[in-house]
Structure 1
């Protein structure tokens, strides 16, 4: 990681520049003054998703899911727990493919749940199927920076 990172606010989508060593210091958004990291997955759709992927310098771990999917619902609390462990060095995001079919199509999501790790605006790794919290964290760290 470089010394200065761009972080997209999970609340107002403002782009903030944060010193890498200060990521763990609980930084707040310069625009809305709310925390840049909440320790919880962020639900994104459409343009918000594209902005976070394109403009954030930290990795995004995306859970492509749907409300009717049993394994997706089973994995949801594990994904939330993984967010608490992986932030602030990685942002965890949920994309409802039922509500956002264009995003599912854009990334050729064929089965759900599917985890996709994005680095520097590009997909770097993908894993289909439900996982427990330890497996999510291990997979994310193994495929991350």
Structure 2
């Protein structure tokens, strides 16, 4: 039996109800009609972050980064490759700690890049340092039952 899940649109940030059995069938947003899963990460500001972490019923993997950070820039393509592999079981998002310093402060981000995994609105795991796409995928999947 398929359960109904809340999935936040990466484009307009509207919360959608999607049957779990339909996640892999390229569901569209009921509001903006764009794909709910694009195989790419979503850049979040503070309001969008709160909505994605608080309302998504799929885990949200967040890359806290900054544009001046060399390892962050190096890891960016690997994070995008991981998004293509982890969606639709995960939502991948990026928070630019330079543009949205309040989020970095709220979560005590001390080094970047830092990956934080959120499930049911709470942080469940954190990993600092740049990783390749296979390591990101393996780490994310290993954090959840």
TM-score by length of 2: 0.97
Number of the residue aligned with 1:38: 38
- SS of match in other structure, 2:123: strand
Q: Which residue of 1 aligns with 2:61?
A: 61
Aligned-partner Cα distance in 2 for 1:8–1:80: 19
Q: Which whole-Å CA distance do the structure 2 matches of 1:127 and 1:49 have between them?
A: 19
Offset at residue 14 of structure 1 (A): 1.0
Q: Per-residue CA shift, 1:95-122, capped at 9, x if unaligned?
A: 0001111000000000000000000000
Alignment partners' CA distance in 2, 1:118 and 1:110? 18
Gaps of 5+ in 1: none
Counterpart Cα distance in 1 of 2:133 and 2:98: 24
Number of corresponding residues: 144
C-alpha distance in structure 1 between counterparts of 2:43 and 2:140, whole Å: 18
Q: Say which SS state the counterpart of residue 37 (structure 2) adopts.
A: coil
2:72 matched to 1:72?
Answer: yes
Q: State the alpha-carbon separation in 1 of the partners of residues 93 and 27 from structure 2.
A: 19
- Equivalents in 2 of 1:137, 1:55: separation in Å? 22
Q: Is the 8 A contact 1:117 1:144 kept in 2?
A: no
Runs of 4+ in 1 over 6 A off after TM superposition: none
TM-score (norm 1): 0.97
CA root-mean-square deviation: 0.8
Runs of 5+ consecutive residues of structure 2 not aligned to the other structure:
none
Which residue in 1 is equivalent to 2:13? 13
